[in-house]
Amino acid sequence: MKALLQKSCKSCTASSIETYYYTIRSLAKLVGKDEVPLTDSWIDNTLYERVKHQPKTTSSKNLAVAAVKALRAYSQTATGKTKLEKWGKYVSTVSEKYSKTRDKQERTKRESKNWPKGGYDSIKKLAARLHKEAVVTQALQKAPAKVSFTELWYLGRWFTFLFYSRHALRGDLADVQIKKRGLNYVHKKGSQWHMHVGDHKTAKSHGAIELKLDDVVSKALNQFLPYVRAKTDHGFLLSTTRYGKRMRRVDMMKMIRETTERYLGKRIGIQMIRVLKTTSHLEGLDEAAGLRAEMAHGPQMQWKYVSRPK
């Protein structure tokens, strides 16, 4: 399926293909498919109704977009074209519904339910709490080569929350390499760490994201990187807990949601963190060119990420 997606969307970034693929897999599971079939017969009326009745507007939209991407990837038959038109209309409908809420800057039901006490600052406090946990403090006292993959995962979890408490990228952190290669990587200028993100959702319209990492994040990266270098050879910042393999974007997002649910009692994902940060910068948002560059937004889209209580 990944090959079909790439063939049908040559302008899509590698990270977008990866995201579409995993969302299509989730879509297939709604009708009991463990793997994504290579024909469009499974994208039927049963699936359509199940997607329509998803409890969250964003989930419904993302799954519908996945159906459209899958249908475009398959060879187009007359039946497939009819399905594509039907799903395309539904994507437009649900997108318009979501946009109306965002345009009003009103908090959605899901946001209200999962809005943490303290807003964006709660992510910073959670990062500090994770840093103080025994598994992290003890790991940081060991020689880098002596930590286990599980300890490395805990270090990576701490660094992930510290990063997102200062920088509200999408899920691009999972694609960042530790050497200056590929499109997404960290590199030093003098004593300060920077991050280059050339492969991201809006790269075509906004270009590469160039981040000078916050001083706290830069300092943490100096601590974290020796462990990554000593224990892994995959070349990426984040690793899985069991075998120390590269952590994929979908796994990082799952880790973030499960961690916030456990520690904050709120199931918070990347999108929500971006809303939290934008809302925290409400005053003077029109002049917040730096934040727009970080999030790869234009001024109009930036306002859509403000969330006010009703």
Residues 91 and 196 in one domain: no
Residue 141 and residue 62 share a domain: no
Looking at the 3D structure of the chain, how many domains does it have?
2
In this prediction, residue 148 carries a pLDDT of: 97
Query: Is the pLDDT assigned to residue 75 strictly greater than 90?
Result: no
Per-residue model confidence as pLDDT tens digits over 109-143 = 778 888 999 999 999 999 999 999 999 999 999 99
- Final residue in a domain of this structure, among 78, 103, 128: 103
Residue 49, pLDDT score: 92
Domain that holds residue 68: 2-103
All residues at 6 or more sequence positions from 282 whose CB lies less than 8 Å from its CB, including other chains: 306
pLDDT at residue 147 tops 70: yes
Q: For residue range 234-244, list pLDDT tens digits in order.
A: 999 999 998 99
Q: Which of 78, 70, 1 is nearest to 40 (CA)?
A: 70
Mean pLDDT, all residues of the chain: 87
* Model pLDDT, residue 139: 98
How confident is residue 76, by pLDDT bands cut at 50, 70 and 90? Answer: confident
The Cα–Cα gap between 166 and 247 comes to 21
> What pLDDT shows up at residue 54?
83
d(CA 221, CA 197): 17
**229 & 149 share domain:** yes
Question: Is residue 36 located within the same domain as residue 158?
Answer: no
**64 and 119 housed in the same domain:** no
Which one is predicted more confidently, 17 or 235?
235
Report if residue 108 sits inside a domain: no
pTM assigned to the model: 0.70
Give the pLDDT mean for 175-185.
93
pLDDT tens sequence across 78-100: 888 899 999 999 888 887 776 66
Do residues 63 and 95 both lie within one domain? yes
Half-sphere exposure (Cβ direction) of 8: Cα atoms closer than 13 Å? 18
Residues 154 and 241 in one domain: yes
Q: Are residues 268 and 120 in the same domain?
A: yes
CA 204, CA 53: separation in Å to the nearest integer?
A: 33
- The average pLDDT across 268-290 equals 75
